Structure 1
Amino acid sequence: MTEALLTHPRLITLEGGEGAGKTSAITAVRELLQARGHDVALTREPGGTPLAERIRELLLDPRDEALAPETELLLMFASRAQHVRQVLRPALQRGAFVVSDRFTDSSYAYQGHGRGLDAEWIAALERRAVGLKPGLTLLLDLDVREGRARTAGRDLWPDRIESEQDDFFERVRAGFRARALAEPGRFRLIDASQPPVAVGAAVTDALSAYLGTLTDSDLA
């Protein structure tokens, strides 16, 4: 790939910490886009292709040896590079909206702020291995303790990330909020502490407003 970073208006991502309710928000996004007659491709990270899903298992399986932060970051971008080539670019080229549960902002938050890795290194990987930036990112923001309480007992065996301590997730949340503050034109901050119906309404309002800014060439 080239080192150009292209913002694509039909790439929509959802970000947030543990328990923020991204699954329900993605459903709201898909339903609104389909109601307006758009082709929608749903996907997730890490994962989205058979190979990327295998990398996901390496990243999240707590039974394996501990991952060095650098290993975690490079595996994330290996998965993401495959995801972009096999799923995102083909779907965007056919005119679909791509809605992804997590994208590169998660690497800045989790591996950058959470693990303490250099943001410039992440940015270089983003340019060279990904080349795409979302036109819209919906950030579901939630207090860490509330999010952890929501996910308590959800999985019998928490994965590698879920097993981290609260201070790690506080850094991750700060990382996401810093990203949103730095790029207010792309991010929409959603208060995920609200009841699910209110969160869904906030998501669809933000998406509707964004769609209203798109031109015919953006949708082509």
Structure 2
Amino acid sequence: MTPQDSAGRGLFITFEGIDGSGKSTQARLLAEALRGLGRDVVLTREPGGSPGAEEIRALVLEGDPDRWSAETEILLFTAARRDHLERTIAPALDRGQVVICDRFADSTRMYQGLSRGDLRGLVDQLHDLMIARDPDLTVLIDMDPDTGLGRALSRNGHEERFEEFGPDLQRKMRAGFLALAREFPARFRVVDGNRAIELVAAEVREIVLDALT
């Protein structure tokens, strides 16, 4: 079965990884590749992806790193994700489109549930109650933490709250994401991001095309 043949079946793909891992680039390259094969693709991101969720994105990613407590961040991210799911993700999947999302619930499990306290249980409870949807496939771009942090800080953007937590957070997050991949082996695929962009993209395409068959 070719990608075109399976066009009636939606597929929800997420990209995860530490800051600076290249996941956003790989998500974009995958979207371009699938569109070139005739697939109808929605490329989106979290937090964000819908008008209401984008407003919440500005609240959580800009300003002082200690602006919100971990509990408040979990509530904000869950609210944004619910709006994103209702207005963007679920309708696209119902139409048979491929949804490619730069971050989803696994990032909240890491950044709020692990890095800022032992709140993973709370994240999962809210996810089960308000989201109740996991990706069909999660591509984890694994990256050396120091390299990733250097890349993230070099962007000089306005959304650097979590990069500002420093290299210790990056190392903790990498270990946490790899642990998630072991916890959910059915949907996670780990890709070595410490290579040329083109090599990473080729492996990602192979993984996704296999999932579409």
Same-fold call, TM cutoff 0.5: yes
Cα drift, residue 104 of structure 1:
0.4
Cα drift, residue 206 of structure 1:
1.3
Partner in structure 2 of residue 55 of structure 1: 56
- Of 55-64 and 121-130, more deviation after overlay is shown by 55-64
Change in CA separation of 1:62 and 1:145 when aligned onto 2, cut-off 3 Å: same
Cα drift, residue 157 of structure 1:
4.8
Looking at structure 2, the residues matched to 104 and 49 of structure 1 have their Cα atoms a distance apart, in angstroms, of 16
Q: TM-score, normalised by structure 1?
A: 0.87
Looking at structure 2, the residues matched to 142 and 196 of structure 1 have their Cα atoms a distance apart, in angstroms, of 12
Looking at structure 1, the residues matched to 10 and 157 of structure 2 have their Cα atoms a distance apart, in angstroms, of 39
Instruction: Kindly report which structure 2 residues correspond to 1:156-171, keeping only aligned pairs within 5 A, or say none.
Output: 157=158, 159-171=160-172
Partner in structure 2 of residue 137 of structure 1: 138
Partner in structure 1 of residue 3 of structure 2: none
Looking at structure 2, the residues matched to 16 and 63 of structure 1 have their Cα atoms a distance apart, in angstroms, of 23
- In structure 1, give the amino acid aligned to 2:69: A
Instruction: Check conservation: 2:115, 2:173, Cα contact below 8 A.
Output: yes
Change in CA separation of 1:37 and 1:157 when aligned onto 2, cut-off 3 Å: closer
Identity %: 38
Instruction: Check conservation: 1:113, 1:174, Cα contact below 8 A.
Output: no
Instruction: Kindly report which structure 2 residues correspond to 1:68-83, keeping only aligned pairs within 5 A, or say none.
Output: 68-83=69-84
Ranges of 4+ aligned residues in structure 1 off by more than 2 Å: 156-159
- In structure 2, give the amino acid aligned to 1:59: V
The alignment of Structure 1 onto Structure 2 pairs a total of residues equal to 205
Looking at structure 1, the residues matched to 86 and 10 of structure 2 have their Cα atoms a distance apart, in angstroms, of 18
Cα drift, residue 132 of structure 1:
0.8
- In structure 2, give the amino acid aligned to 1:87: T
Cα drift, residue 91 of structure 1:
0.8
After superposition, the CA RMSD in angstroms is 1.8
Matched, 1:121 2:122: yes
Cα drift, residue 156 of structure 1:
5.2
Instruction: Kindly report which structure 2 residues correspond to 1:11-160, keeping only aligned pairs within 5 A, or say none.
Output: 11-63=12-64, 66-155=67-156, 157=158, 159-160=160-161
Looking at structure 1, the residues matched to 87 and 172 of structure 2 have their Cα atoms a distance apart, in angstroms, of 32
Instruction: Check conservation: 1:9, 1:135, Cα contact below 8 A.
Output: no
Instruction: Kindly report which structure 2 residues correspond to 1:179-190, keeping only aligned pairs within 5 A, or say none.
Output: 179-190=180-191
Looking at structure 2, the residues matched to 207 and 158 of structure 1 have their Cα atoms a distance apart, in angstroms, of 29
Looking at structure 2, the residues matched to 124 and 43 of structure 1 have their Cα atoms a distance apart, in angstroms, of 24
Looking at structure 2, the residues matched to 64 and 167 of structure 1 have their Cα atoms a distance apart, in angstroms, of 15
Q: TM-score, normalised by structure 2?
A: 0.90
Instruction: Check conservation: 1:141, 1:191, Cα contact below 8 A.
Output: yes
Q: Name structure 1 gaps, 5 residues minimum.
A: 1-7, 213-220
**Any idea what SS the aligned residue of 1:112 has?**
coil
Q: Name structure 2 gaps, 5 residues minimum.
A: 1-8
